[in-house]
């Protein structure tokens, strides 16, 4: 299916690694121009090199996303360079483990800044350009907003906020023909996930136990599978889809995992 994304300018926050990189891979295969925004001056050049080697057109703007002025500056750079913004993928974030018992106000507030506030700021500063292009916003969310996880109050709250903003923006932006959707992720083996799982005495056994509870094919979702859904939502092939929370998770969030023989 041709998603007709050729030469569309799409911003992907946190696009240099993990799920963000998988999203960028899917987009360049559709001919989109991808602009990675983030703070990592080590991983962003590497990602640009890898994506460009596959024929992708890739740009970047450095920004500490917890800084509103840095967000504004990054969006201004994109508009000055490309003249338009056709899509925004809010992806950057980190499951930082700010718990109810072990956290405090400062840590909780910092977690919201790292995982939610910049979703608002990026959309806010992109909005004039998105109105002109009748563009699309896709927010990346996590199952933690619906299932809980334990020990990560800040991240769970931020993801609840991402879901709420998706629905709120879908309503507010109806008059401008801007669609807003979210892709909800459960278990995807990213570099951050691998770092987390290495904390266990037997990382492979832990991974096997997690995958046994994923109903569809007993495996984690790949970043590219998430990216493919994001690309579809950014395209006019999904032209009447807005305000949706679409779970790309192998059935983890909603299917009864007791039905899976591997989990018995």
Model confidence pLDDT, tens digit, residues 205-247: 999 999 999 999 999 999 999 999 999 999 999 999 999 999 9
Which fold does the domain 9-188+222-257 belong to in CATH? Answer: Rossmann fold (3.40.50)
Contact indicator for 75, 125 with CB cutoff of 8 Å: yes
pLDDT, one tens digit per residue, over 163-187 is 999 999 999 999 999 999 999 999 9
- Sign of dihedral through CA atoms 220, 225, 227, 233? negative
d(CA 241, CA 261): 35
Can you give the pLDDT at residue 261? 58
- What are the residue boundaries of the structural domains of the chain, listed by start? 9-188+222-257
What mean pLDDT comes out for the span 129-158? 97
pLDDT > 90? residue 264: no
CB 180 within 8 A of CB 243: yes
Mean pLDDT value of segment 148-163: 97
What is this structure's pTM? Answer: 0.95
Residue 179's nearest CA partner among 63, 66, 62, 87 is 87
Catalytic annotation on 120?
no
Which of 125, 155, 193, 252 is an active site residue?
A: 155
Give me the residue label for tokens 């590219």. Answer: 224
* 3 state SS for 59-79: EEEECCCCCHHHHHHHHHHHH
Residues 22-32: what's their mean pLDDT?
A: 98
> Which residue is listed with tokens 């992806």?
91
Q: Find tokens 């994923």 and name the residue.
A: 214
Res 262: pLDDT: 54
């Amino acid at each position: 299916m041709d998603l007709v994304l050729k030469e569309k300018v799409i911003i992907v926050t946190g696009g240099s690694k993990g799920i963000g990189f998988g999203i960028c891979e899917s987009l360049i295969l559709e001919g989109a121009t991808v602009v990675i925004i983030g703070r990592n001056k080590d991983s962003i050049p590497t990602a640009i090199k890898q994506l460009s080697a596959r024929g992708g057109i890739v740009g970047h703007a450095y920004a500490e996303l917890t800084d509103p002025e840095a967000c504004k500056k990054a969006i201004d750079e994109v508009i000055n360079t490309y003249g338009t913004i056709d899509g925004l993928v809010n992806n950057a974030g980190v499951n930082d483990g700010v718990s109810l018992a072990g956290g405090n106000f400062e840590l909780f507030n910092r977690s919201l800044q790292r995982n939610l506030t910049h979703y608002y700021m990026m959309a806010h500063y992109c909005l004039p350009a998105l109105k002109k292009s009748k563009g699309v916003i896709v927010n990346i969310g996590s199952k933690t907003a619906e299932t809980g996880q334990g020990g990560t109050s800040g991240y769970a709250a931020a993801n609840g906020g991402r879901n709420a903003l998706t629905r709120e923006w879908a309503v507010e932006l109806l008059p401008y023909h801007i669609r807003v959707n979210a892709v909800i992720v459960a278990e995807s083996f990213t570099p951050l996930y691998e770092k987390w799982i290495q904390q266990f005495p037997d990382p492979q056994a832990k991974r096997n136990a997690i995958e046994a509870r994923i109903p569809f094919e007993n495996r984690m979702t790949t970043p590219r599978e998430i990216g493919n859904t994001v690309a579809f939502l950014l395209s006019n092939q999904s032209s009447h889809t807005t305000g949706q929370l679409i779970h790309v998770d192998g059935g983890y969030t909603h299917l009864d995992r007791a039905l899976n023989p591997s989990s018995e």
